[in-house]
Amino acid sequence: MAPSLMLPKLPMTPFRVMALVLGVAAVCLIFSALTTSGREQKLGKVFDQISKPYKRDTSGRTMAEPSFWRNFDFTSEKIPSQVTNAAPLVKVTNNTINIMGSNTFYREAQPPEGVASSGEVVVLLHGAAFQSKTWLDLNTINLLAAMGHHIIAVDLPGFGKTQSAQIDEPADYLHTFMTSLRITQVILVSPSMSGRFSIPFIMKYPEDLGGYVPVAPVSTSLIVPDASKLSVPTLIISGEKDQGLGHTSRDDLLNIPSSQHVEIPGAKHPAYLDDPILFHTLLYNFINQVHAHRAIA
C-alpha cells in the first residue's frame, strides 16, 4: 500500500480566515487585470513605477548655484525699446522716515501704468560725492521702474536730504530701513562709500538680499573671512581706470562663490557715470536672472 501524505490539520483561526480571503481576492484581481484588454500594459507600468527609485528633478538652477553666476553673460540682452519708452511715464515720489534717529530721505518709484510688476525691489545706495538724486539724473530710477521693478533710492545719513546721525551699526540701519518699508529679498546696488553699510549688511543679514551689485565699495576686506559662506548672487562692477579701490574690492568680493566681476571699459571710479548704457544693461540682465532663478529656487 502506497504511503499516504498526511497533512496536519490547522485550526481555522479568524486571522487565517482573513489571510485566505485576502489571498483569494488578490489572485482574482491580478487574473482579471491580465485577462482584460489593455490591462497587461497598465499593470506592468505600475510595477515599473514601484520598482524605480525616486529621482529628484535637479534640472533647474537654484539661487545658490555658483557656476551660473560666475559665467553668465550679463550683457547678453539689450534693454528693450518699450522700457526706454515707458521710463518717462514713471512717477517718482519723495519720502522721509525716521530710522535709528536719522530722518532718512528716500525716493521711490513703482512700474508705470501698463507695465506689469516683477515683484522685485531694487534699493539704490550712493557714494560719498553723490546722493539719491544721482540715480534720478542718470535715469536709473525711471529705467528700472519701467522694467517692472519697485525702486527705492536712499540718501544715507549725512548725505543729500538726510540729516547727519551717529550710526554705530550700519547693518542694523539698513535692516531697520527695509523692515520699516516692509521690503525684503531686495537687490542692493552699492557704490563706493555705501560699502560701509552694505558690506556689514550682507554679512549679518544675507537672507534679506536677493542680489547684490557692489560698484567698487569700501570695507570689502571685512567680508573676506566669511565670503565663502555666502550664496547671494553678486555682480561686481568696476571701472577700467579705477585701479585702486576697483581692484581691491574686486579681489575681495570674488571670494563670494556666486559672484562675477564685470569691468566697464574706460570708466573711472564711479563707473556708472562714464557708461550708463552698459551699466543699465548689466542691471537689466542681472535683475532678470535673479527674478528667473527666484521662481525656480
> Active-site residues: which are they?
192, 242, 269
Distance separating alpha carbons of residues 217 and 98, to the nearest angstrom: 25
Residue whose C-alpha cell is 519708452: 85
CB 188 within 8 A of CB 212: yes
Of 206, 189, 105, 180, the closest CA to residue 151 belongs to: 189
Distance separating alpha carbons of residues 210 and 103, to the nearest angstrom: 26
**Sequence letter at residue 73:** D
**Sequence letter at residue 65:** E
Nine cell digits for residue 262 = 564685470
Q: CA geometry: angle at 276 spanning 272 and 278, to 5°? A: 100
Distance separating alpha carbons of residues 241 and 226, to the nearest angstrom: 29
Of 150, 154, 141, the closest CA to residue 87 belongs to: 141
CB 293 within 8 A of CB 63: yes
**Sequence letter at residue 125:** L
